[in-house]
Amino acid sequence: MLQACLNGARRPGAHPSLPVTPERLAEDAVAVAELGVTSVHLHPRDVVGAEVLAGPEVATTVATVRAAAPALEIGVTTAAAIEPNPYRRTELIRSWAPLAAGRPDIASVNVHEGGWLDVAKILYDAGIGIELGVFHLQAARRLQHSELPPGTVRILAEVRPDKADPISEAEALLCELEPFGLPILLHGEGDSAWPVLTYAARLELDTRIGLEDTLTLPDGTPAKDNSALVAQARRTQRALAPS
């Protein structure tokens, strides 16, 4: 599976083609679906472009994208950086349950963040799948000492951009996470994005690409948009696919 992470936490204007509004996210979702993407990861925004967890904004974004690309799996974030107050954060996420067409299919839950198990339970009760975000070995080991939340769809293993050897970090994460027996989506960020995507393609693992993770193509040239990143990722996957 190739997932497209369309905007992330980047500020409006960080890239000329960064999609922020529901309409622009829907346009990019349609474009990447035509290139073979089956899942998109979004960070809904309010009218001034700030990340939000509030139900109305989440519903508007998800429903707009779903209407444009109904076959796509639509995922959103639950990142604590958006709402640091744990009580307020869980209440906002709890408001997603009755969203109907605006309810996401999945949501990422970062294992290193406080209250992650509470967030996972709320998502499960709302019928929303869980993508467990594991950003480092400490988080992987924390997960080993917890029961996997019911409703977990996959583990999202991320290699951070500050790693001098991203492939060694990816290998170490996989060693910790493979015993869980769940699908693993392996990806990098910044300088690690393309090396880790290539490594994931060699292993035939799920992976992702998009303006959330990198603004450039493998040769360092600026990417025109999400479609350019996805097209390059698909070429990489095809080149490394077993014959």
The string of pLDDT tens digits covering residues 88-99 is 999 999 999 999
End-to-end alpha-carbon separation of the chain, Å?
18
Instruction: Say if CB 28 and CB 66 are below 8 A apart.
Output: no
Instruction: Say if CB 212 and CB 173 are below 8 A apart.
Output: no
The string of pLDDT tens digits covering residues 168-186 is 999 999 999 999 999 999 9
How far, CA to CA in Å, does 239 sit from each of 31, 230, 233?
22, 14, 10
Q: How many CA atoms lie within 13 A of 190 on its CB side?
A: 8
Of 201, 235, 204, whose CA–CA distance to 217 is shortest? 235
The string of pLDDT tens digits covering residues 25-77 is 999 999 999 999 999 999 999 999 999 999 999 999 999 999 999 999 999 99
E strand segments, the chain: 2-5, 39-42, 73-77, 106-110, 129-134, 152-159, 184-188, 207-209
Residue 242 has pLDDT above 80, yes or no: no
Per-residue pLDDT band at 243 (split at 50, 70, 90): low
Domain parsing of the chain, residue ranges: 2-240
Residues in Cβ contact with 170 at an 8 Å cutoff, skipping those fewer than 6 apart: 157, 159, 186, 188, 196, 199, 200
42 secondary structure, DSSP code: E
Of 81, 66, 68, 64, whose CA–CA distance to 30 is shortest? 68
Superfamily of domain covering 2-240: Aldolase class I (3.20.20.70)
Q: Report d(CA 95, CA 29) in Å as an integer.
A: 25
